[in-house]
């Protein structure tokens, strides 16, 4: 396989853990709010409220906070206290500035690719401000020739980015943990899609197996293993 002309990496749960921080915040808040409802009820209603607000709030920690606040107000018929809501804000703020710990082999793999002169892109969806902050905190900024933060990663998004950079789909590779956002749309366009799964996958990013049938993509257990498909 020829070396791609542009290699893009997803950020959250590909280069650094992100979902575990959200899962932890959620679990802590559900414990705190357990006198109002059990964790199952809270979790189910939280996801429903998130889905109904998704078109307004988008992804990320601010959306998480607002959704959690609205869920609790609803489940308590407005009797939740300001003090409890402040705890939601405090947990949410921690989601906006937790220290970024790189996943195994990240720097080694980026260093190897940079050494070979392949242009690298960070391509992540989410909240612009938050994602820029995470990249800055990661210390990885200098590895990337391009940074694209988008609101959705679907076929139209990838098509727009490839046009902008003048790259053909077959010369483009995408590495990420999300089948929905990193793998399927890229594979469908004819790009090289490499799935590096992460143990914690957000429910919204899960893909039913039948949607994967016949879609050509690579599977790697780690970024180091992914390297074999990139050079």
Number of residues that bind its own copies (CB under 8 A): 38
DSSP string, 1-63: -PPPSEEEE--BTTTB--HHHHHHHHHHHHHHTTTTS-HHHHHHHHHHHHHHHHHHH-SSHHH
Q: For its own copies, which is the closer residue by CB, 74 or 108? A: 74
Q: How far is the CB of 121 from its own copies (least distance, A)?
A: 12
CA distances from 128 to 46, 75, 92, 123, 160 (A): 23, 31, 16, 12, 18
Q: How far is the CB of 133 from its own copies (least distance, A)?
A: 8
By rule CB under 8 A, what string of x and - marks binding of each residue 42-81 to its own copies? -----------x-xxxxx--xx-xx--xx-xx--xxxxxx
Give yes or no for residue 118 binding its own copies (CB under 8 A). no
Structure tokens belonging to residue 197: 């799964």
Give yes or no for residue 205 binding its own copies (CB under 8 A). no
Q: How far apart are CA 37 and CA 39, in angstroms?
A: 7
Give yes or no for residue 128 binding its own copies (CB under 8 A). yes
Using the contact rule CB under 8 A, the part of the chain among 3-11, 22-30, 145-153, 207-215 near its own copies is 145-153
Instruction: Report the C-alpha dihedral over residues 33, 37, 43, 49, rounded to 10 degrees.
Output: -90
Q: For its own copies, which is the closer residue by CB, 5 or 76? A: 76
CA distances from 48 to 23, 55, 71, 132, 228 (A): 17, 13, 9, 28, 40
Give yes or no for residue 96 binding its own copies (CB under 8 A). yes
Q: How far is the CB of 172 from its own copies (least distance, A)?
A: 18
Using the contact rule CB under 8 A, the part of the chain among 100-108, 121-129, 166-174, 206-214 near its own copies is 121-129
Q: For its own copies, which is the closer residue by CB, 150 or 207? A: 150
- The binding site for its own copies (CB under 8 A) comprises 53, 55-59, 62-63, 65-66, 69-70, 72-73, 76-83, 85-86, 89, 92-93, 96-97, 127-130, 132-133, 149-151
């Amino acid at each position: 396989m020829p070396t791609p002309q542009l290699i893009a990496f997803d950020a959250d749960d590909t280069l650094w853990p992100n979902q575990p921080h959200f899962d932890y915040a959620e679990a802590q808040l559900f414990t705190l709010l357990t006198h109002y409802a059990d964790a199952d009820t809270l979790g189910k209603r939280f996801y429903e409220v998130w889905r109904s607000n998704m078109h307004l709030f988008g992804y990320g920690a601010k959306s998480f906070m607002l959704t959690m606040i609205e869920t609790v107000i609803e489940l308590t018929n407005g009797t939740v206290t300001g003090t409890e809501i402040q705890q939601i804000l405090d947990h949410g703020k921690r989601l906006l500035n937790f220290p970024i710990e790189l996943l195994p082999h990240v720097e080694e793999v980026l260093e190897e690719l940079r050494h070979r002169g392949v242009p690298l892109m960070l391509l992540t969806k989410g909240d612009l401000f938050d994602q820029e902050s995470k990249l800055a905190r990661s210390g990885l900024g200098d590895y990337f020739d391009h940074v694209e933060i988008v609101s959705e990663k679907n076929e139209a998004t990838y098509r727009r980015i490839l046009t902008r950079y003048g790259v053909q789909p077959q010369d483009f590779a995408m590495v990420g943990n999300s089948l929905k956002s990193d793998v399927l749309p890229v594979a469908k366009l004819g790009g090289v899609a490499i799935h590096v799964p992460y143990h914690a996958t957000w429910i919204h990013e899960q893909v039913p197996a039948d949607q994967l049938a016949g879609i050509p993509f690579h599977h790697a257990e780690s970024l180091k293993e992914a390297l074999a498909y990139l050079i």
